[in-house]
Amino acid sequence: MDDETRWTLNAPQVVDETIDGEVMIIHLVTGHYYSLLDVGANVWQRLRAGQAQREIVDGIACGFTGEYSVISDSVIQFLAQLQQEDLVRPLDADAAATEAVIEESTAAVPPPFLPPVLNKYLDMQQLLALDPIHETDERGWPHAKAE
Residue 89, Cβ density class (10 Å: 0-12 exposed, 13-18 middle, ≥19 buried): middle
Q: Does 136 bind other proteins (CB under 8 A)?
A: yes
Stretch that binds other proteins, among 10-18, 43-51, 65-73, 105-113 (CB under 8 A): 10-18
The rounded distance, in Å, linking the Cα atoms of 125 and 121 is: 9
Q: Does 123 bind other proteins (CB under 8 A)?
A: yes
* Contacting other proteins within 68-97 (CB under 8 A): none
Q: Phi and psi dihedrals of 70, rounded to 5? A: -65, -45
Which of 5, 22, 110, 117 is in the footprint of other proteins by CB under 8 A? 22
* Contacting other proteins within 34-53 (CB under 8 A): 35
The rounded distance, in Å, linking the Cα atoms of 91 and 13 is: 16
Q: Does 8 bind other proteins (CB under 8 A)?
A: no
- Nearest 10 degrees: CA dihedral of 31, 36, 42, 45? 20
The contact set with other proteins (CB under 8 A) reads 11-13, 15-17, 19-22, 24, 26, 28-29, 31, 33, 35, 121, 123-124, 127-131, 133, 136, 139-144
